[in-house]
Amino acid sequence: MVQPGLYDLDGRVVAVVGGGSGIGAAVAEGAANHGAIVAVLDANASAAKAVAARLGGQAEAAELEIRDRKAVGVALNAVARTRGRLDVVICTPSINVRKPILQYSEEEFDRVVAVNLKGSFNVLQAAGAIMTAAKRGSIVIFSSIRSQVVEPGQSVYAMTKAGIVQLVRTAAAEFGPFGVRVNAVAPGVVETPLTAPITANADWHAAYANKSALKRWARAEEMIGPTLFLASDAASFVTGTVLFADGGWTAVDGRFTPPGM
**Where do the domains of the chain lie, and which CATH numbers do they carry?**
13-245 (3.40.50.720)
pLDDT value, residue 257: 63
Predicted TM-score (pTM) of this structure: 0.94
d(CA 168, CA 163): 9
pLDDT value, residue 260: 62
Residues marked active site are found at 157
Residue ranges, the chain, pLDDT below 70: 1-4, 253-261
pLDDT value, residue 256: 58
pLDDT value, residue 6: 87
Taking alpha carbons only, the member of 102, 123, 98, 128 closest to residue 112 is: 98
Rounded to the nearest 5 degrees, what angle is found at the Cα of 39, between the Cα atoms of 33 and 40? 90
Cβ atoms 215, 248 nearer than 8 A: no
d(CA 9, CA 77): 20
pLDDT value, residue 195: 80
pLDDT value, residue 255: 63
- As a 3-state breakdown, the chain gives helix, strand, coil percent values, each rounded to 5, of 50, 15, 35
